Structure 1
Amino acid sequence: MSFDRAAFADKIRRSMEHLDVEDNEVVASTGIPDARFAVLRAGGADPTGDEVLILADYFDCDYKFFISNERLAAFEETDSLYRKHGDLFSKSDRRSLQQFLYLCECESWLWKSNAYRSDSFHFSPQGSNFKRQGQTAASALRVHFGYQDDQIPSDLFRDLRKLGIHVFRRKLENSSISGVMIRHPEAGRCILVNYDEDVYRQRFTAAHELAHALMEDSEFNVSLTRDGSNLMEVRANAFASHYLVPPAFARAVLSRVATWDDTAITEWAKRLKVSTEVLRISLKDLGIIDNIIFDQLKGSRVPRHQKVDPEIGSETGRTRDRKLSLLQRGLSMHYVSECLEALDGGRISHARAAEMLMVREDEMGEIKALFTLTGTQ
């Protein structure tokens, strides 16, 4: 089959639209001469192997995407997303979203190559009470995972991956966006959590987006920090609250707390790894506290420095800084371990591992040393 120049040119054009970049920006960043790039964008010539690799690197995608005459479907979800919510995503956030989708594609390949088998869980909402639908779905999923009535999910991100959902955290410039859920035509359900939020809020957002992934057929969802009027958002909030603060636990344990004051709610919020706002709403909904106490606790907060990121834990010094740097790039410790395992197993090359981790090849040694040192692999 001959190379389809028109399809190649169309992929360049649409990639530029998604990242909101102009010709001069591509030329300046890639080093491809202006006249040559104009020819490629117009479909007037076949690209060289180096040009394919350079453009794939610039647009944060697998080089195979550009040389294949197919694989246009992945554009459709992003096209629809930007048509509806384009004003929410800055140029920087569009780049972050593109890199997120690339990581999901890579992880999907890693799972297939490793014969990873995910759990099958289906839930069909019944009735017209959206809040109750979310609560019922949360209870059903807890049963599916074998959680005891009073057991708290210790690793929410692991639960999502068990369901075959790709979840990554990445800082977004628009702080009003809590999370994004996209159904990728190849990778499946993908969830992006805004790393700009504190770790407790990130945990709630992940559970919130999980609800959208489980109970809706939409191609995508964008959740905003203040969007409580939408019934789908109400259902997702109810799901997240019930999954993270199980009613059975609240009735068996939290109802026995003698006095609900600032100290009590901050201490229990830390144990449950949820915000004091989520906890006090749960306590009020279950009748454990009344409206007066609910209002009195409104100003209570767990200090941000006391909220420990589960992927960093108690690490300190240089090890903590290195892990933090990886997280800030949008990588999860789980994903890095997957890449290094594939590298050690000979399933990917050193260069390919660097591409999948979005780092330079000379950084690979430091990453391998870090994960060997901490026993993460």
Structure 2
Amino acid sequence: MMGVRGVAVNQKDLAHKLRQAREKLGLSQEEVAQALGVSRESLAQWERGERLPPALHLQRLAWLYGLEEKSLFEGGEVRYRDGLSVLLPEGVSLSAKARLELQRWLEFLDAYAEFLKEEGEPLSPAPQGILRELRPLGGLLTDVRRASSEARKVRERLALGQDVIPDLRVLLDGLGILVYQASLGEGLASRGEQVPEGEGSPATIWGAFYRHPQLGFSVLVNVDSTPGRQVFTLAHELSHALYHSRLPGILCRREALPEEKEVETFANAWAAHFLVPGNALKERVGEWVGDPRKLSAEDALLLAHHFGVSYTLLLYRLLNERLITEDTFRAWSRISPRVLAQVLGLSQEPYHLPAPSFLGELGRFPPSVLRRVRRAVLEGRLSVSEAAGLLDVDSTTLQRKLLASAEEEAESKEALELAKELNFRTPGRRRKALEA
């Protein structure tokens, strides 16, 4: 019979493939239905062959199961997508929500590569610039003893010195690494529970690193984690781009697979040193309290805010640099950073799980993507509907957020207040005569 997109569909065969794909992944009908936003009974009817799924839902099912959509209509076995097979090795179990978001990310990368081709921009999966300069021979470094020196080398190459790292999302985007944000679920660790993953339980995913065959490096960050955790994830994924370019991709989970542990351990160590350099930490401690033995938990929280990292990461760095003892570390780990922040008059927001409102909209994409798409629409090379399809948003959202005029109707209050203070010119200086 004729079905989805005018393609002849063997309804019984399609139902069998959908049911088999779901069962192979160990997903329940309830999980899949919730991820798609449909009733479980609707999904059951599709799997029994009583009804055909609408085109949009069939597309999402293909994303969710990691299948090539065309193979659902063709004879023989279904074909799995390469990107998902790279990120999901045998034995890794994901929730339906996380699996769907991973597929959306991979679908976007493919569509964006096609957009750049049409724009006439060169595509290269090979590392460029600093990513090429600093990658180790063979593209794989796992020696944790080199993490500190390598982090220092990258800081020097980026002219960061011992300073606090700027917005990492913007920094990676400037290096040519596409950062995509997605809601992958909180997971146990994000709620502070120390419960080990059981066999077959959905993995807690912090992010992913993927070497796209046309775009090169892209990373995904789970926004259902605290801001501090997201910063660490970005630094962790940057380490993969710098030192593990030989890998086609890796899903960064709370429990790494045995074959991934060396790579993940190095990335963790490098990220910690990159975000909080040992010399800079010791210098701050010396300036603030003098003797490290006078450090308090309140000082640790202030240091965390200074470096823009989580309280937990800062405690580990203090311990790593032998500025506190293990007993002190354990004692301070039991203290709530939210309470300390309140005591010190600091924002408690960094210690709460965010409730992102942008999901399904434009906040998922890096600045470089939004800039290119906006320019292509404004210059008439891309229609609004084509741009909405590329970014997987509705046309109204696109018009309201991406294509909005950047010019305000009236000057802001700040601009008026600072007009006198900032509207000046530095007087020219005469050159000094060179001494003989």
Q: Do they superpose with TM above 0.5?
A: yes
Query: Which one of 329, 350, 355 corresponds to residue 384 of structure 2?
Result: 350
Q: Following TM superposition, by how much is the alpha carbon of 1:123 offset from its aligned partner in structure 2, in angstroms? A: 2.1
The answer to whether the 8 A contact 1:134-1:235 is kept is yes
Tell me, in whole angstroms, the C-alpha distance in 1 between the residues paired with 2:405 and 2:219: 25
Provide Cα deviations, 1:206-259, integer angstroms capped at 9, x if missing partner. 111222232222222122235598222221111101111122311322333323
In 2, the alpha carbon distance for the partners of 1:251 and 1:374 equals 46
Residue 365 of structure 1 corresponds to which residue in structure 2?
Answer: 399
1:17 offset after TM fit, Å? 4.5
Matched, 1:220 2:226: no
The residue matched to 1:168 in structure 2 has which SS? strand
**Alignment partner for residue 209 of structure 2, among 140, 165, 181?**
181
Distance 1:167 1:301 in 2: 31
Judging changes above 3 Å, is the alpha-carbon distance between structure 1 residues 228 and 90 closer, same or farther for their aligned structure 2 residues? closer
Residue 182 of structure 1 aligns to a residue whose secondary structure is strand
Checking the alignment, whether the CA contact within 8 Å between 1:125 and 1:133 is kept in structure 2 is no
**For the Cα contact (< 8 Å) 2:63–2:103, is it kept in 1?**
yes
Please give the residue correspondences for 1:49-128 in structure 2 after superposition, counting only pairs within 5 Å.
75-87=81-93, 89-108=94-113, 113=119, 115=121, 119-121=129-131, 122-124=134-136
In 1, the alpha carbon distance for the partners of 2:297 and 2:374 equals 44
* Identical amino acids, percent of aligned pairs: 22
Tell me how far apart the structure 1 counterparts of residues 106 and 141 of structure 2 sit (CA, whole Å). 34
Please say which structure displays the higher CA radius of gyration. Answer: 2
User: Once the 2 structures are TM-superposed, how far is the Cα of residue 97 of structure 1 from its aligned partner?
Assistant: 0.3
Number of the residue aligned with 2:306: 271
Work out the number of aligned pairs and report it.
333
Render the CA deviation track for 1:47-84: whole Å, top value 9, x for unaligned: xxx97x996677569xxx979xxxxx992231243342
Q: In the alignment, is the contact (CA less than 8 A) between 1:130 and 1:234 conserved in 2?
A: no
- The unaligned stretches of length 5 or more in structure 1 are 39-49, 68-72, 313-320
Matched, 1:245 2:276: yes
Find the residue that maps to 2:88 and give its secondary structure.
helix
One-letter code of the match for 2:387?
A
Alpha-carbon distance between aligned partners in 1 of 2:280 and 2:155, rounded to the nearest angstrom: 13
Amino acid at match of 2:173: R
Secondary structure at 2:209 match in 1: strand
Residue in structure 2 matching 1:142, options 155, 162, 174: 155
Q: Give the distance between the partners of 1:293 and 1:371, measured in 2 at CA.
A: 53
Cα 1:35–1:77 change in 2 (3 A) is same
Choose 111-120 or 177-186, whichever is displaced more: 111-120
Aligned-residue offset at 1:366: 2.1
Q: Distance in 2 between matches of 1:120 and 1:108?
A: 22
**What is aligned with 2:431?**
none
- Change in Cα spacing, 1:156 to 1:196, as seen in structure 2 (3 Å) is same
CA distance in 2, matches of 1:60, 1:269: 39
Match of 2:357 in 1: 325
| Shift in alpha-carbon separation, 1:327–1:341, aligned structure 2, 3 A | farther
Contact 2:164 2:308 in 1 (8 A): no
Q: Which runs of 5+ in 2 are unaligned?
A: 1-7, 71-78, 188-203, 342-346, 410-436
- TM-score, length basis structure 1: 0.71
How far apart, CA to CA, are the structure 1 residues paired with 2:63 and 2:87?
18
2:332 pairs, out of 297, 302, 306, with 297
State the 1:96 CA deviation. 0.4
Q: SS at 2:286's partner residue?
A: helix
Q: TM-score by structure 2 length?
A: 0.62
Q: Alpha carbons of 1:124 and 1:340: their partners in 2 closer, same or farther (altered >3 Å)?
A: same
Match of 2:288 in 1: 257
User: How far apart, CA to CA, are the structure 1 residues paired with 2:113 and 2:227?
Assistant: 25
For 1:325, what is the secondary structure of its paired residue?
coil
Deviations 1:154-178 (A, max 9, x none): 1111222223211112111362211
Are residues 1:159 and 2:171 paired? yes
Contact kept? 1:354, 1:364, Cα under 8 Å: yes
Tell me the CA shift for residue 337 of structure 1. 4.1
Would the aligned equivalents of 2:180 and 2:366 in 1 still touch at CA under 8 Å?
no
Change (3 A) 1:77 1:354: closer
Higher deviation after alignment, 108-117 or 278-287: 108-117
Shift of 1:115: 4.4
CA distance in structure 2 between the partners assigned to 1:81 and 1:116 by the alignment: 26
Deviations 1:312-359 (A, max 9, x none): 9xxxxxxxx9xx422465613624444323322323210011112211
Tell me the secondary structure at the aligned position of residue 146 of structure 1.
Answer: coil
